[in-house]
Amino acid sequence: MDGNSTMSLGQFFSGYSELFLSFILVIITGILAYYTKNLYHATSKYVDLVGSQNQIMDEQNKMMDENRKHELLVKKYNRMLDEMKNLIAPLYASRDDPQIFIPIKLDSKIITDLETSEIDQIYYNSYEFWMNIRKNIYLNGSEELKKQLRKYEDSLRHPSMKRDERRDKYYSRMFEKNNKILVDIIEHRHCELAEQIKDIEEELGISESSQLTSNPKHEDT
């Protein structure tokens, strides 16, 4: 009787322990599930936050890149306007003017020694014109124009040279040839630069075209 009672009591406690352990496991499982769920939501929020920050950074980088490109385009546009205004437009406007394109190489000493007269004033105007071109030659964006201006200057005859019919004819042929090529290059560069300025104005949303582009001689309209 006592042995049976002892076994029954042991079985009771053994079953109770298993039930208790099962209950504890259920509670622990619930707690783990709860924290796992919270961790999942926290992780999701963190991922969303990081994603939002990355998106903001991407948008900021994109905006900075667009601003940088815009600034570079504006600088390019202003430089082209300077080239047109101070270099190409004056050359283009005077390309057929024989009082500017003359076959004589002038310098300041010659201009100083000249007496005041109509023909000397022509020389002076030509000298002033080409001095202004030299001053603004750094704006030139055409390597072809740069080379031809050098050839054109080489074809000019210096007035201090002794008159020689053969040499005069040589310089005359050189001047006519290089002058024609120079005028062609000036016209080409003017057309090219005007188109580039127009394209940038459209890209920048500038409604009014440059006055210099449409009116290179600065004539009143």
pLDDT at 216: 44
Packing angle of the helix pair 2-83, 165-204 (nearest 10 deg): 140
Q: What is the mean pLDDT of residues 39-45?
A: 78
Percent of the chain exceeding pLDDT 70 equals: 78
Higher pLDDT: 140 or 18? It is 140
* CB of 153 closer than 8 Å to CB of 105: yes
* pLDDT beyond 70 at 54: yes
* Distance in angstroms (rounded) separating the CA atoms of residues 127 and 106: 6
Encode pLDDT of 66-91 as tens digits. 888 889 989 999 999 999 999 999 99
Domain boundaries, the chain: 78-214
Residues 6 or more apart whose Cβ sits within 8 Å of residue 23: none
Q: What are phi and psi of 100, to 5 degrees?
A: -105, -50
pLDDT at 210 (0 to 100): 44
Is pLDDT larger for residue 67 or for residue 162? Answer: 67
What pLDDT does 65 receive? Answer: 80
- Mean pLDDT is lowest, of 28-42, 103-117, 152-166, for 103-117
- At residue 66, the pLDDT reads 80
pLDDT for 163 equals 67
Q: Would you call 42 exposed, middle or buried from its count of C-beta atoms within 10 A (0-12, 13-18, 19+)? A: exposed
Element counts in the chain: helices (H) and strands (E)? 7, 0
Residues 170-195: tens digit of each pLDDT: 888 889 999 999 999 999 999 999 99
pLDDT tens digits for range 189-212: 999 999 999 999 998 888 654 444
Q: Quick check: 215 pLDDT over 50?
A: no
Task: Look at the block and give the residue holding tokens 């948008």.
Answer: 59
The pLDDT value recorded for residue 220 is 39
- Convert the pLDDT of each residue in 118-149 to its tens digit: 567 788 889 999 999 999 999 999 999 999 99
